[in-house]
A and B are shown apart, each in its own frame.
Chain A
Amino acid sequence: MRRFGKAWAVGALTVWPLSAVSADTPGVGSPDFVFSGFGTVGEVHSSDHSADFANSVLQPNGAGFTRNWSATVDSRIGGQLFARISPELSALVQVIFQQNYDGTFRPHVEWANIRYQITPTLSVRIGRFELPNFLFSDTRNVGFTLPWVRPPPEVYGLIPATASDGVGIAYRMVSSHLTNSTQASLVQETVQQPFGRGTLRARSSYNIANTTEYKSLTVRASYQHVRLTITSLDPFLDNFRMFGAQGVAIANRYDSDDKPASTEVVGASYDPGHLLLNAEWVHVRFDSFLGESAAWYASGGYRVGAVTPYLTYAYSSAKSNSDPGLPLTGLPPAAAGFAAGLNAGLNAILQGIRAQRTVSLGARWNVASNVDLKVQVDHTRVSASSDGNLINRQPGFMPGGRVNVFSATVDFVL
């Protein structure tokens, strides 16, 4: 982090009255700019060469099929400019360089928002910012702040978007031992999907999150409701509409045309010193082909000097990875063949809902106060009816089975 503008000590001696409003405001009327940077350089290897292991469904490729060792799964560089305009008003712009949905490396504006502190306990944010769905949502791009190479995809993969546009209010209450903060946000977002699947649009999205901190314990609970539009499957699903009421019902059930989706998350983190425990549970329900899922993980680490070995178990299950589809009995042979093809296509889509369990073993080594080195091995067992976490599936890819992934990353903050 580099602070520039006015030298702070001069500011402190000249403009700090005894009744200063905030500890962090050396001056009034003279913006104080802080530049901060972060980054991760990583390599990932996956044992399954018929598909790619990626950090998110929004990535176009990864390790496995595209590359034996992939640097694009975790590597990224981010820069942030924070401006303290007045004790109440601040602005933030964060730009990230990483592989985009289309395979390019154009930098994108991850966040850009203005924050106004209405009272010491109440603040409002307008612009593009993160939604605090999970414990580590706020900084999931900043590897240095994460205990692992990446948050467990079983849980975090269910909400792949990392930024939303809108307005949010935050209320923070501090009592003698307890800190409680509540954030409520009204947002929308449009995310580009890889593989020519067009956009993912979330509208009328509201999110409420409550975080309680008691000594070394942090507990977060959040709820989000959105209306989600993904039109890429519409041409396929519309074929079902030729098969009468049953076909129309199937198309309506699985399309994602302004469909409601809800997410509930409960997570806890316990960090008293040497021990580090994290656990989160999530339930998502999409009224579309994305289906209904529940997932959780539990992770424990123990700090031995600068090294923290850790073990994580993550589990995700789909309510259903299949659908009987159209009944074929009574259809003329040609129509039955077409319907059977549609049924197979529908089930291939539902197979994409993640159902798997992963045991991860890794270690974080704090090389310097702002640099860490992490290595992690993931052993994943994918349910027989699911494609699991793998993207960019190639002919010959089979659902189910086991995947081993090895990752090594260096994270830093500036």
Chain B
Amino acid sequence: MTCSITWPIVRAGLATFALALAHDTHAALAEVVAVVSAKSSITSLTKDQIKDIFLGKRTEFPDGSLAIPIDEVAGSAVRDEFYARFADMSPAQVRAHWSRIIFTGRGEPPKTAATGGEAKKLLLENHNIITYMDVRLVDSSVRVLHVP
């Protein structure tokens, strides 16, 4: 009985410690994953497909259904990590990419959610949304995309 209560506490403590270490080492930000609603039929996308949707080059998933990307607000660490990992782009490169589109009126960047939690709420509202979040926010309402 004692054991079953203390073990989660120890585990949580270890996790916090690991997290603190991770924050010390610059590169080891929490893992950012690309997600859709658990009710979406999309299970897997390549890095290029995800990149194209977020850069506005494509507006549909491979099955032809509408893809609505949702970004976290500019400046968020999760957002910067997402673009570094999935598009090999720095925040300035992403901004320059959209500037080339915005200043000709050819398109608009993805709408933004203030936090991963807000993005998760939007996923429940609209199953065409694709977004990203800290893996620790993932729950049963969210499907993590398999990225081969």
Contacts and interface: CB of A to CB of B under 8 A. Distances in A.
Interface of A: 1, 8-9, 12-13, 16, 18-20, 22-24, 26, 34, 36, 38, 78, 80, 82, 84, 90, 92, 94, 111, 113, 115, 120, 129-130, 138-139, 141-142, 144-145, 174, 176-177, 179, 213, 215, 272-274, 303, 306, 366, 368-370, 372, 413
B96 A144 contact: yes
A34 B92 contact: no
B74 interface: yes
B99 A144 contact: yes
Contact of B105 (A13, A115, A413): A115
18 contacts: A1-B102, A1-B109, A12-B126, A13-B122, A20-B68, A22-B59, A24-B111, A34-B108, A38-B99, A120-B59, A144-B96, A174-B57, A215-B48, A273-B89, A368-B92, A369-B95, A370-B95, A372-B92
Interface in B77-122: 88-96, 99-100, 102-105, 107-113, 118, 122
Given A113-B105, A370-B95, A26 B127 contact: no
B148 interface: no
A369 B128 contact: no
The number of chain B residues touching the other chain, given as a range, is 35 or more
Given A23-B69, A369-B75, A12 B105 contact: no
The 6 closest A-B pairs by CB, nearest first: A366-B92, A369-B91, A92-B105, A273-B88, A23-B68, A24-B108
A217 B125 CA distance: 36
Given A12-B122, A23-B110, A179-B57, A145 B103 contact: yes
Interface of B: 48, 57-60, 62, 66-69, 74-75, 88-96, 99-100, 102-105, 107-113, 118, 122, 125-128
A130 B104 contact: yes
A113 B69 CA distance: 27
A150 to B, nearest CB: 15
B117 to A, nearest CB: 12
Given A9-B118, A12-B111, A23-B110, A18 B105 contact: no
A306 B75 CA distance: 15
A407 B57 CA distance: 34
B66 A23 contact: yes
B102 A306 contact: no
A131 to B, nearest CB: 11
Given A18-B128, A23-B59, A369-B94, 17 more contacts: A8-B111, A12-B111, A12-B125, A23-B67, A23-B110, A24-B107, A82-B105, A111-B105, A113-B105, A120-B59, A138-B103, A139-B99, A144-B95, A144-B99, A145-B99, A174-B58, A366-B92
Nearest to B58: A174
A274 B118 CA distance: 33
Contacts of A372: 92
A148 to B, nearest CB: 13
Nearest to B98: A1
Contacts of B58: 174, 179
A368 B69 CA distance: 24
Nearest to B104: A138
Nearest to B96: A145
A87 to B, nearest CB: 12
B111 A20 contact: no
A22 B112 CA distance: 15
B83 to A, nearest CB: 10
Contact of B108 (A18, A84, A130, A272): A84
A20 B100 contact: no
Nearest to B67: A23
Contacts of B104: 129-130, 138-139
Contacts of B122: 9, 12-13
B102 A16 contact: no
B85 to A, nearest CB: 12
Contact of B92 (A82, A141, A370): A370
B126 A16 contact: yes
Contacts of A19: 66
Contacts of B103: 36, 38, 78, 80, 94, 138-139, 141-142, 145
B131 to A, nearest CB: 12
Of listed B88, B89, B108, B127, residue having the most chain A CB within 10 A: B108
